[in-house]
Amino acid sequence: MKKMQKLLTRRITDTPADSLVRSNCGLSLNKEETLSAAGLKTVNNNPEENLLSGRRGRNLRVFVLNMRGKPLMPTTAGKARKLLRKGLAKVIMRTPFTIQLAYATGEVRQDVKLGVDTGYKHIGLSAISSAKELFRSEVELRTDIVKLLSERRQYRRTRRNRLWYRKARFLNRTKSKKAGWLAPSVQHRLDSHIKAVEFVKSILPVTEITVEAAAFDIQKIKNPDITGTDYQNGEQKDFWNVREYVLYRDGHKCQACNGKSKDKVLNVHHIESRQTGGDRPDNLITLCETCHKAYHKGKLELKIKKHKAFKAETIMSILRWKIVNKLRELGNIVNITYGYLTKSARIALRLGKSHADDAFCIASGSGQERTDVINGSFTRRQNRCTQLNRKGFKPSIRKRRYELQPNDLVRFNGKAFLVKGMQNLGKYIKLAGLKKPVKTELVNLIKYGKGLQFIPAL
């Protein structure tokens, strides 16, 4: 128990403690996988060395940082294990496994190209040298932001209606005050692409980045024969708004009862909720007041085929140049490629359709030795919890944070688990994969969770 309390006194981001002995040796690191340290004394019983045991038989690299924290060329698990045993390096990160040298080295690096396959739900990353693929990953983006914003809006409205009256305020929206504003879900995807690239740059000496700039002509997707002025003469031309067009398109008749109802009041109904389907005409249909109420009460079923939405294509069309320009602002050398070039390269190399393989083609990969995929994901860093106080007191967001939070990595009974939550004022902890909670004092911390996480080799 004392050991656990001591461990949780401060929240760190590094995986292990720096328990290794540093040593200044005039050794050089002039090329990939050259980490020789002959004639030096060995430090016995090094616990950090055991973290590499699960990498035997797997085609994974061990990433290396110099004494100043700058990336060098990666090495093999065997050579990294020797350095850890002799106390010449310490572990910086568990997944992907990264060590930092404790002695001065030469810093001659090879050219490393990074390919980025941009996407709506996944990002493909592949870093290659002239002979090998050094890093390959597919990173999953968050898809819960729209839902959480809707939930937050509901909580806010409930509080305001129950507690006090606030005078109306106008022109206070971020969209009207800040140029270049993006919706939160779109901004998250932009930031996530930049964070993923910067992460790879933190463990590899990337010299050049190639990004696939995907462009989607949505009108061409809907109508392959569209040309010239047809782009300006859309379906809503000469109509004041979407509602007027939908009523005209449906002939001012209820599409459920076909105008048989005597109810003359017409409503424009969202086939999918406005939150997910939006206000596009394909998602709207005309219903009379009677049928509209009957549908929401569950007494009427609409036999309507849902049209394909182009949400992902629209967002990627917005982001394609913003990602490139943002990377260039950070001082990177960025090249641009397109989807048809990636497809032809993938077919020529006889690779499967995946984000990681596309990224390999984007980076101009050809005959390099491939490495294993390391899956990653962006996770939510904080949870919202409304504190229920006594009558007459304002509800407030709970300020107390437990030392262990969801997505933290812990060890229990010799196995690694992800934390799902805490119970009983932190005395018990829920672990992913276990039905019953366990006592917190029986759990040892391995790594705190972050926004960008890679699945560890458990």
Rounded to 5 degrees, φ, ψ at 238 are 70, 10
Q: For residue range 288-335, list pLDDT tens digits in order.
A: 999 999 999 888 888 887 777 888 888 888 888 999 999 999 999 999
The helix-helix angle for 355-362 and 339-349 (nearest 10°) equals 100
pTM of the model: 0.76
Q: For residue range 160-169, list pLDDT tens digits in order.
A: 777 666 676 7
Asked if residue 5 has pLDDT above 60, the reply is no
pLDDT value at residue 79? 92
Q: How far apart are CA 71 and CA 92, in angstroms?
A: 12
Q: For residue range 355-392, list pLDDT tens digits in order.
A: 999 999 999 998 889 998 998 999 887 666 555 555 55
Check: CB of residue 63 under 8 Å from CB of residue 96.
Answer: yes
To the nearest whole number, what is the mean pLDDT of the chain?
80
Asked if residue 26 has pLDDT above 50, the reply is no
Asked if residue 50 has pLDDT above 70, the reply is no
Asked if residue 430 has pLDDT above 50, the reply is yes
CATH class of 112-143+179-218+311-378: alpha beta
Q: From residue 2, how far is each of 8, 15, 131 by CA, in Å?
A: 10, 20, 50
pLDDT value at residue 133? 93
HSE-CB of 158 using CA atoms within 13 angstroms: 10
Q: How far apart are CA 106 and CA 128, in angstroms?
A: 21
The helix-helix angle for 184-203 and 311-329 (nearest 10°) equals 50
